[in-house]
Amino acid sequence: MFNSHYALMKEFASRLSVSGREHDFSNDLKAWMKPFADTVSTDAMGNLLLVKKTAVLDAPRLLLTAHMDQVGFMVTHIENNGYIRLSPVGSVNPIAYSNIPVKFSRGSKGILVAETNCKPEEMKPNKLYADIGTISLKETEKYVQVGDVCAIDVPLMKLKGSRIAGAALDNKASCAIIYKIAQLLSAEEALPFEVGFAFTVQEEVGCRGSKTIAYSFAPSYALNFDVTPCYDTIGSIPGNVRLGKGAAIKIRDNTVIVCKTIVDSLEQTAKEESIPIQREIIASGGSDTGVLQLTRQGVAAGSLSLPCRHIHTGTETIDSKDFDAIVQLALAWIMKGKVFEFESLG
């Protein structure tokens, strides 16, 4: 269906899916992913789960997850002159969001601007407002209502080499990774374990969706896919992850210390397959991995992260080589059943 990684991610990134309003993207994902799974379901939270079953009785269950929501804004008030007041949904950088095009959930496009004479040091999300070109409250309400959402409307672009930039690569790129893995696994007629492909909601506002989907699927093992910051930009704080240097295997973030069994098995697989990897440790922020680990009696959960520059802006930047490395590593890890070779976890 998609003839390149770029075409795949461009299609995914064009879908609006602000936290709590992921249903349109989820419906498209359901149609795209359905040929690769035996069952498809959506829970009360809105999480999408597709399962590739196995004929093996009492087989282990592996859950692959990626959140499908993106940061954005929700409409809180419409001024008499038609301007739209907003509150952030997720963590947004008001400077990065100033003077940038946005798209609303009902289809209208507009621009996000800062209040006149607002100094950079005064910039906060509440200093931003949207202008869709209307001139009155009554006119604006024809197109936008209080409670609607909007997100940055910047299409993906190809940079030099294998680099791609644009909005919503956090986390549409990881959703595309799971799509590729599912597509490749669909050629396997019989797996010795059951695989669930979960696209979770509301990660950007507290990893909410992963709590319910992990509880209901009850995996034996889990692998989460998300982006991670790069530390190779001008003025960056010290860090290990670089763009274009391979799949980032999460060791720790602010919400999880990853199961050593998972880390060891991923690194061993990468060594055997000559796949470039990096070790990821971040001091702040988290992902669905921490939630997966704490589900029920505890789950051996790990994470493969896609290096990404300028996260939560309209110029998020990734490298297709890192995308390929993650797909190759995850697929080899699954097919070799590496995690199942370890007798104990910890």
At 10-62, the pLDDT tens digits run 999 999 999 999 999 999 999 999 999 999 999 999 999 999 988 778 888 99
The pTM score is 0.95
Domain endpoint, select from 152, 176, 194: 152
Provide the pLDDT confidence category of residue 344 given band limits of 50, 70 and 90. Answer: very low
- What's residue 284's pLDDT? 81
- What's residue 283's pLDDT? 81
**Set 22, 194, 203, 280: catalytic member:** 203
pLDDT tens-place string over residues 244-293: 999 999 999 989 999 898 999 999 999 999 999 999 999 888 899 999 99
d(CA 52, CA 288): 21
pLDDT tens-place string over residues 122-147: 889 999 999 999 999 999 999 999 99
d(CA 202, CA 68): 8
Q: In what order do the strands lie in the sheet with 316-319?
A: 157-158, 163-166, 316-319
Asked if the structure places residue 13 within a domain, the reply is: yes
d(CA 324, CA 277): 11
Q: Are residues 244 and 302 in the same domain?
A: yes
State the CATH number of the domain containing residue 20.
3.40.630.10
- What's residue 1's pLDDT? 64
Number of domains in the chain: 2
Asked if the structure places residue 160 within a domain, the reply is: no
Q: Are residues 306 and 172 in the same domain?
A: yes
pLDDT tens-place string over residues 15-26: 999 999 999 999
- What's residue 343's pLDDT? 47
Q: Are residues 262 and 314 in the same domain?
A: yes
Domain endpoint, select from 126, 152, 178: 152
More confident residue, 1 or 114: 114
pLDDT tens-place string over residues 80-95: 999 999 999 999 988 8
Q: Are residues 236 and 318 in the same domain?
A: yes
Our measurement of the distance from residue 274's CA atom to the centroid of its chain's CA atoms, rounded to an integer in Å, reads: 26
- What's residue 73's pLDDT? 97
Q: Are residues 44 and 104 in the same domain?
A: no
> What residue numbers bound the domain in which 209 lies?
5-70+167-341
Q: Are residues 199 and 136 in the same domain?
A: no
Q: Are residues 336 and 313 in the same domain?
A: yes
Our measurement of the distance from residue 3's CA atom to the centroid of its chain's CA atoms, rounded to an integer in Å, reads: 21
**263 is written with which tokens?**
């880390």
d(CA 87, CA 91): 11
- What's residue 342's pLDDT? 55
Catalytic, 22? Answer: no
Q: Is the pLDDT of residue 205 over 80?
A: yes
H helix or E strand, kind and range, residue 24:
helix 23-33
**Mean pLDDT of all residues in 70-80:** 97
What percent of the chain is modeled with pLDDT above 90? Answer: 80
